[in-house]
């Protein structure tokens, strides 16, 4: 399909579904069925099998027509992590069941990976899943779970075989967060919000039909998710001077009295770094759309964390005393996170989490060193030891 043919397809869709008179959810479902949700996905799964670079053409035409979007900020984990993994690994039945309501926003997703004793070392997780006929019984605790308080489903990794080394005894599941035995508790963070949660799983029963990939292949499936996550966090589409660099540049222009040669030099250097990251992210999203997420996403996520923290720090310096003010520390449980919203104090505090979430910067440096640069791996003594024999 050429760009002109795609434009005509969108125009025909709009002629049949007027966004002014069509119910929002009905419109989004119809858009998915027409292949205009994510055009690089296959037909019958919200796409047309086209290049991802054509998605902005669709988005612009629909936006100009006043069409509603699917509120992507409220379901970042679903759109950026769960959907690509289900598309790459899931059965046809799983794709048909989960992708459509995920994209329309009817079902929000969260990620049940990290645990109190297994954060950076995800393969050390202790949450157990035991087979019981056509179901799995899951017990354990997860932590730092964004959006768990609003999520309908979760991507979950659990240990199904403690007799083998830790990387080989894990299995990946799709967990219904409304099932009996799932308990979500808020974790208040330095910003005052509780966007994170801890999740307790007590005798939660998951049908085997909601197992993603083969039993014992959870580490490989989880790596598919983690690679897409890092691109989703560090390589999100952004216009030139979008995101945090746009906020800081605007502050610079609006407050000439705050400028110094040193701050000017730092702003210019950061602007160039952000532009390099933006263009690199575009290339990585092409690989992701082709189903080849790689370790390069770790480098993008590393750069994102560094730039967010340096830019938010520069903004606070620019604003002086005003930058130290914090407007509201009320305990709230937001449905989504706006990294550039609120005030400079919020942005500065929230950016501190960027080097932890989505993989700590220390772990990502190891990934870049070993899988991108080809440097020797660090000594590991537990790769051939059964998980049950490891020190806990």
**What residues are annotated to the active site?**
229
The Cα–Cα gap between 332 and 74 comes to 15
Residues 6+ apart with CB under 8 A from 64: none
Using the 8-state DSSP alphabet, how is residue 379 labeled? P
DSSP conformation letters of 316-354: HHHHGGGGG-------B--SS--TT-S-HHHHHHHHGGG
| CB-CB contact of 335 with 74 (8 Å) | yes
Using the 8-state DSSP alphabet, how is residue 54 labeled? G
Using the 8-state DSSP alphabet, how is residue 275 labeled? H
The Cα–Cα gap between 223 and 221 comes to 5
Beta strands in the chain (DSSP E): 109-112, 128-132, 135-142, 153-159, 170-176, 182-187, 196-207, 211-212
Residues 6+ apart with CB under 8 A from 59: none
Residues 6+ apart with CB under 8 A from 167: 123, 219, 383
DSSP conformation letters of 236-248: ----TT-THHHHH
Helix (H) or strand (E) holding 47: none
Using the 8-state DSSP alphabet, how is residue 17 labeled? S
Beta strand pairing status for 153-159 and 170-176?
antiparallel
Using the 8-state DSSP alphabet, how is residue 42 labeled? P
Can you tell me whether residue 193 is helix, strand or coil? strand
Beta strand pairing status for 153-159 and 109-112?
parallel
| CB-CB contact of 240 with 276 (8 Å) | no
The Cα–Cα gap between 2 and 326 comes to 50
């Amino acid at each position: 399909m050429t760009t002109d043919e795609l434009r005509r397809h969108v125009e025909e869709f709009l002629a049949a579904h007027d966004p002014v008179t069509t119910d929002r959810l009905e419109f989004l479902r119809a858009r998915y069925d027409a292949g205009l949700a994510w055009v690089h996905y296959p037909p019958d799964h919200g796409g047309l099998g086209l290049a991802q670079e054509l998605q902005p053409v669709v988005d612009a035409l629909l936006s100009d027509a006043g069409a509603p979007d699917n509120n992507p900020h409220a379901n970042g984990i679903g759109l950026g992590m769960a959907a690509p993994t289900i598309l790459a690994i899931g059965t046809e039945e799983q794709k048909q069941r989960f992708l459509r309501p995920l994209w329309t926003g009817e079902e929000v997703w969260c990620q049940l990976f990290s645990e109190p004793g297994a954060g950076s070392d995800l393969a050390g997780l202790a949450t157990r899943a035991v087979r019981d006929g056509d179901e799995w019984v899951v017990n354990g605790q997860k932590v730092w779970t964004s959006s768990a308080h609003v999520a309908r489903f979760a991507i979950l990794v659990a240990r199904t075989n403690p007799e083998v080394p830790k990387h080989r005894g894990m299995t990946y599941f799709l967990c219904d967060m409304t099932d009996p035995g799932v308990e979500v508790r808020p974790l208040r963070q330095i910003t005052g919000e509780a966007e994170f949660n801890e999740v307790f799983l007590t005798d939660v029963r998951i049908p085997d039909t909601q197992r993603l990939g083969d039993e014992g292949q959870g580490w490989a499936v989880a790596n598919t998710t983690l690679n897409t996550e890092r691109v989703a966090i560090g390589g999100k589409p952004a216009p030139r001077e979008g995101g945090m660099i746009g906020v800081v540049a605007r502050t610079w222009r609006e407050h000439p009295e705050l400028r110094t040669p040193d701050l000017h030099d730092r702003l210019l250097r950061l602007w160039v770094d952000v532009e390099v990251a933006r263009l690199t992210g575009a290339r990585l999203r092409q690989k992701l759309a082709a189903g080849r997420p790689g370790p390069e996403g770790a480098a993008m996520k590393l750069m994102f964390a560094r730039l967010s923290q340096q830019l938010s720090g520069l903004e606070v310096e620019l604003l002086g005393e005003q930058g130290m003010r914090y407007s509201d520390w009320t305990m709230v449980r937001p449905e989504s996170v706006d990294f550039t919203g609120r005030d400079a104090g919020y942005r500065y505090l929230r950016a501190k989490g960027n080097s932890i979430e989505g993989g700590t910067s220390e772990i990502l440096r190891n990934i870049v060193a070993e899988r991108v640069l080809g440097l020797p791996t660090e000594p590991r003594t537990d790769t051939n030891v059964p998980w049950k024999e490891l020190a806990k």
